[in-house]
Amino acid sequence: MDLLLQLAATGLVVGSLYALCALGWGLIYGTTLHFHVAHGAVFTLAAYYAYVAQKLLALPLVVAIAVAIIAAALSGILIDLLVYQPLERRGALRTTLFIASLGLLTLIENLLAVVFTPDPLRMDIGWLSGPVQLGPVFLTRLHLVSVATAAAGYFALMAFLKHTRWGQAIRAVSSSPDMARTVGIDLRRAHLLTYAVGSAITAPAGILIAMDVGVEPYRGTTFVLLASVAVIMGGIGSIPGAMLGALFLALLENLGVWKIPSEWQSTISFGVFLVFIVLRPRGIFGRKIQSAEI
Amino acid sequence: MTAGATAAAPIMALQGVARSFGGIRAVDDCSFEVQPGLITGLIGPNGAGKTTVFNLITGFLSAEHGSIQFQGRELLGLPPHEVERLGVVRTFQHLRLWGKMTVLENVLLGCRTPAGESVLSLFLRPGAVRAEEARAHSRAMEVLEIFGLAARAREFAEDLAYPEQKLLSMARIFATDAPVLLLDEPTSGLDGESLQRIMPIVRRLVDHGKTVLLIEHNMDLISELADQVVFLHQGRVLAAGGPAKITRDPALTEIYFGA
Amino acid sequence: MTAYLAHFLVMVAIYSILALSLNLLIGFSGIFSLAHAAIYGIGAYASALAALKLGVGFWGGMAIAAAVGALASALVAIPSLRVAGDYYVVASFGLQVVMLAVFMNWTDLTNGHAGLPGIPRPNLLGWSIDQPFEYVFLAGFFALLTWAICRRLTDSAFGRVLQAIRDDEIAAQAMGKNVVLVKIVVACISSALGATAGSLYAHYITYINPSSFALHESIFIATLVILGGSERLTGPVIGAFVLLAIPEALKFLAIPDAVAAPMRQIIYGALLVLFMLVRPEGILGRARARPR
């Protein structure tokens, strides 16, 4: 029983990180329909920005994190501005855009590996590494911060989308770009905003896991895959869905370890994904898959 | 050049078809019949649900209620390719031509080439495939002749002038030999001269034995072309009958122009 | 030197098969798969295991490889292509990840990280093919065969349907094409052919281990396809030639091994982005398909 609780707690912590990734990726995908695998690169970059800010610029941890989040948001904007928008202007196929995104992911990850070496780099996290015991469950303070960050991020994003003008513009574009255009929303700006918000909400995940186990160049690929699975299972276009999908996936993987060796975790996630798309392709909360504008 | 409703059974019949988007009933208790061998016009103000009806008939949208009978088969619930196989084809308002393929190739895709499209036949029955392709080629060229596009056969579809693209979109569905043709605004965006070219072609489709259901905004064209007219408004059928009766009905005219 | 050249040519032939088969998906059908390295690996392991554990010869092994590759692909393609292309991308990504886990962790079957040594060389009616130049002919033969198969598929009514699906899937449906079925068939054929490349590889190098079949390999194969040009069949072959020459060039620059691998990936990534921005149809491809 204790073991199960521990696994569930770990699942919650990991799920928080998946959630931040899924929220960001899902927002971008739902609004722009770009299959933005380079989001994994932004996730990774955030960690390196924090590392550089702390270690090379000698900034205090909190400032370093803030700087990193802003830099990550800018990185997301630049990717859309410099790569995706030019492609869209030329009427590129969705696959073309995906290939460019894949190229960016590969390019950025490996550039980081060459510059910083592929070995994990350690950040100073000070008192956050301190242990916390909740009954039979052992966590660190950093883990609690991760869960809190995911919760805060979720509610902040929901509030942003519901109650601010910019958030409503994003929702309009997400539900129908043509309608949004007719009411005067500038699609290009809305996309840039989406990339900024989506990247900013995922950045903490990259930073938090780097603070826990080290800054590495190749982690983003796995995380963006899991984020896309979580979003599809939760339902494209649904923020709560992305959150639930991410938590579900993480709990599945971590509780699965109870019975199945950990190296098969990815197989579990993937198997569940296949079952899901057979039984309920639109996911838990997704809008019904409409035909394109016919 | 007219046809009152014949006593023949309808070739297609919609009964109580309904479909909503969000809270809006795009199509609501829609019922009408299409008589074989005639041109039926589907008219109504913008947003009346005409293209939605086409999407429902051809399987691109699912209906929430109702039924669409075609030659004794139920069309609702079938995917688009099966609706086509049964004998109902459509054009699109935005044409959806394969721009980077030639005019001939666009029409070839309408011809029946089951052997050439089967991987097994491609490798195991090359002779049959070759013969079929030759037949398809001549059929495609015949169709292009009918539509006046034979000279453009080897050009890319995207290089054609707009009126010719509209003709091509009709040519390729004509090549399928399907008995029922749904034309979504075949004359929109055309100027006077092109209209004069296209109208007789639409008329002649019936001479080839086809049944035509067409969405049209131009009331004069409807009076000239259609044998029957169905007036749609807010997803419901308000009236159906001869074009003269409908186009001159003051209440309907007000709805049409007022909406 | 000639042995080295022979080796280079064999690898070009093998990668041509991989690129031609992936091109059926990406170039002709507009479907992107991230699992081609996994398929390559499935072919290699299926063929190797058939030889090592069941005593099946190379020819039988290759047939088994093709069948297993097609089956694995179908398992993933059928549920995901029914929905949308993006689902297939994620599913293929998943297949890639899962197969690597299988290669690395199902140690009873695959020997895990240690890999499978001692795979026998092919045997043609009693004559063992083990001289480098003999293998060039064998691999070259299969590359030509793959090219011919792809040619037959694309230069036909079937090929027309593929292009129609790629350019406007909805119009294809309206014209009576069963788009989902066609995509599934193409995915299975693409995987069957890709798996045969794995079989060739296994019986050539005579030793395989999981690291050859990871995600970066899928990206490499995709780069071959994109670089060479996806609209014409000679494209992937040229792409294979060029991209296999790059690591050799890097060797001349005396770059340390640890950096060489990520450096190659940087080049591939940069090429992908550049080509999409500047010339998505690749080196040889044209902006439009040539009229048939």
Query: What pairs with residue A44 in β-bridges?
Result: none
Smallest CA–CA distance, residue B158 to chain C, in Å, is 11
Closest-CA distance, A278 to chain C, in angstroms, reads 5
Look at residue B178 in the predicted model and tell me its pLDDT. Answer: 95
Q: What is the per-residue pLDDT for C289?
A: 45
Is some CB atom of chain A closer than 8 A to the CB atom of B91?
no
Retrieve residue B197's tokens.
Answer: 């070219």
Is the pLDDT assigned to residue A152 strictly greater than 50?
yes
Residues 6+ apart with CB under 8 A from B142: none
Mean pLDDT for chain C overall: 88
pLDDT band at residue A288, thresholds of 50, 70 and 90? low
What is the predicted pLDDT for the residue at C284? 54
Specify the pLDDT at position A286.
77
Burial label for A165, CB within 10 Å (0-12, 13-18, 19+), is exposed
CA A41, chain centre distance (Å): 10
Residue with tokens 């898959």: A289
Of A29, A26, A38, nearest to A201 by C-alpha is A26
Parallel, antiparallel, or unpaired: how do β-strands B236-241 and B228-233 relate?
antiparallel
Residue B40 in contact with residue B226, Cβ under 8 Å? yes
Which carries the bigger pLDDT value, residue C248 or residue C270?
Answer: C270
C223's tokens: 């780069």
CA distance A150 to chain C (A): 24
Residue pair C19/C224 in contact by the 8 Å Cβ criterion: yes
pLDDT of residue C30: 84
Which of A59-63, A224-228, B243-247 is predicted least confidently?
A: B243-247
pLDDT band at residue C283 under the 50/70/90 scheme:
low
Q: Quick check: A287 pLDDT over 70?
A: no
Rounded CA gap, A185 and A175, in Å? 13
- Partners of residue C268 in chain A, C-beta under 8 Å: 103, 106
Mean pLDDT of chain A: 91
pLDDT of residue B26: 87
Q: What residues contact C199, with CB distance under 8 A and at least 6 apart?
A: C43, C44, C46, C47, C58, C61, C62, C65, C66
pLDDT of C50 over the 90 cut: yes
- Confidence band, pLDDT 50/70/90 cuts, at residue C286: low
Give the span between the Cα atoms of B242 and C151, in whole angstroms.
Answer: 55
Between C69 and C253, name the one with better pLDDT: C69
Instruction: Give the closest of C153, C158, C176 to B84, CB-based.
Output: C176
Q: In what order do the strands lie in the sheet with B65-70?
A: B24-34, B12-21, B65-70, B73-74
Instruction: Give contacts of C93 with chain A, Cβ < 8 Å.
Output: 225, 228
pLDDT at B184: 94
Q: How many CB atoms lie within 10 A of CB B44?
A: 24
- Is A47's pLDDT higher than 70? yes
Q: Which residues of A touch B61 (CB under 8 A)?
A: 291
With contact defined as beta carbons under 8 Å apart, do B1 and B57 qualify? Answer: no
Q: Examine the pLDDT at C241 and tell me if it is beyond 70.
A: yes
Q: Which residues of C touch B (CB under 8 A)?
A: 152-153, 156-158, 160-161, 163-164, 167-168, 170-179, 185, 189, 288-289, 291-292
Provide the shortest C-alpha distance from residue C265 to chain A (in Å): 6
Residues in B 203-232 with any Cβ partner in A closer than 8 A: none
SS3 C123: strand
Asked if A182 reaches chain B (Cβ–Cβ under 8 Å), the answer is no
- Average pLDDT rounded to a whole number, residues C256-265: 83
C-alpha distances in Å from residue B227, one per residue of A114, B90, B184, B197: 74, 19, 17, 20
CA distance A104 to chain C (A): 6
- Chain A contacts in chain B segment 4-63 (CB below 8 A): 51, 55, 60-61
**pTM of the complete model:** 0.89
Residue A268 has a pLDDT of 83
Q: Please tell me what DSSP assigns to residue A215.
A: B
Q: What is the pLDDT of residues A91-102, one digit of tens each?
A: 788 888 999 999
Q: Which residues of chain B fall below pLDDT 70?
A: 1-7, 258-259
- pLDDT of A42: 98
Residues of B in contact with A291 (CB under 8 A): 55, 60-61
Question: Helix H segments across chain C?
Answer: 2-23, 36-54, 58-81, 85-105, 107-110, 132-154, 157-167, 169-174, 179-205, 215-228, 234-252, 257-278
Contact B116 C177 (CB under 8 A): no
| Helices A141-163 + A2-32 axis angle, to 10 | 30
